Amino acid sequence: MKLQRLTLWIKVIGRLGALLGVLALLLVADAFIDGTDRSANIFSGYPGMSQPISGKSSRRIKSIQQLSSMASSKGIILRFAGTENSVWHNAWHGTLEIGPSLVPGSHSLSVSCLAEIPEKRITQYTIRVYEDTSAYRRHLRSYVRRHWGVSPWWICLSILPFFALCFVLSYYLSSGKASLMAALGRTEIFKLKQSGEHSLISFGLGSKHGIQQADLLSVYSPDGAKVGTAKVRDVFPQHSVAIAPTWQQVKPGYEIRLGSRE
């Protein structure tokens, strides 16, 4: 009964972990879709909104005094906050403010960086301003930001601890199940390899559990039906390798049981 409960919990936690993993991948994809406009120097918002903005440089930016901006409308203000410099990355960051009385439409913003080489010194940005919050959200490419109003990265980060917890619990319960099965003379096949007319079966019982070379072991399907036998070829302390004819159609996840303990 305990073995059945462990198996059920491992299955439930494994499926939950897989679901969280898929959800995290979807959120990452949504976040990249959300960033396509910004990578093309396009920012959007609504009157009265402020948001983070950043830009790159091929040269080291010593201070924000090397930066200046000019907008096509007085309602667009860029406030530089700082710079980031490393061997691989030079950038500035700040806050883009859209005035509450700014007329909706497409506006332009140019940023000049004195640290940059002359031909790349000025970068152009497009600022798309929508009538209100509802109109702004309807035009967002990110599903999460459009419907929930938050960055998909934050949700993805909040999922990761639960995903890791599922992985740890699954490993812990699987180890407990393996120990319990080993005490009963049973284990699951974890590797299967075809070799000519035979299948090489690797399983988690070894000399520590009383396995000896040439032992004849029974093979069972997950539903408990006996599907054939396997003969031990190689024995190690914690695992062994047996051979079985390919016509038995043995699969990973099937059980090996010691004949004397069935």
Q: pLDDT at position 45, please?
A: 93
Maximum CA extent, the chain: 87
Model confidence band, residue 261 (pLDDT cutoffs 50, 70, 90): very low
Question: 0.85 exceeded by the pTM?
Answer: no
DSSP-assigned states of every residue in 190-223: EEEEEETTEEEEEES--GGGT--TT-EEEEE-TT
Residue type, position 22, single letter: V
What is the C-alpha to C-alpha distance for residues 80 and 75, in angstroms, rounded to an integer?
16
β-sheet bridge partners, residue 124:
110
Q: Of 165, 174, 168, nearest to 7 (Cα)?
A: 174
Which helix (H) or strand (E) segment holds residue 158: the answer is helix 152-183
Q: pLDDT at position 246, please?
A: 83
- Structure-token pair, residue 178: 């393996």
Phi and psi torsions of 53, nearest 5°: -145, 145
Q: Could you report the per-residue pLDDT of 24-68, keeping only the tens digit for each?
A: 999 999 988 877 766 678 899 999 999 999 999 999 999 999 999
Q: pLDDT at position 259, please?
A: 61
β-sheet bridge partners, residue 67:
113
What is the arithmetic mean of pLDDT over 90-118?
94
Whether 112 shows a pLDDT value over 60: the answer reads: yes
What is the C-alpha to C-alpha distance for residues 122 and 54, in angstroms, rounded to an integer?
14
For 106, the 3-state DSSP assignment is strand
What is the C-alpha to C-alpha distance for residues 75 and 72, in angstroms, rounded to an integer?
9
Contacts of 18 (CB under 8 A, 6+ apart): none
Give the orientation angle of helix 152-183 with respect to helix 2-34, to 10 degrees: 160
What is the C-alpha to C-alpha distance for residues 113 and 66, in angstroms, rounded to an integer?
6
Q: pLDDT at position 64, please?
A: 93
What is the C-alpha to C-alpha distance for residues 44 and 38, in angstroms, rounded to an integer?
9
Phi and psi torsions of 125, nearest 5°: -125, 145
Q: Could you report the per-residue pLDDT of 190-235, keeping only the tens digit for each?
A: 888 887 788 888 998 888 888 888 888 889 988 888 888 888 999 9
CB of 116 closer than 8 Å to CB of 59 = yes
What is the C-alpha to C-alpha distance for residues 243 and 234, in angstroms, rounded to an integer?
9
* % of the chain with per-residue pLDDT over 70: 97
* Mode of pairing for the β-strands spanning 122-129 and 42-45: parallel
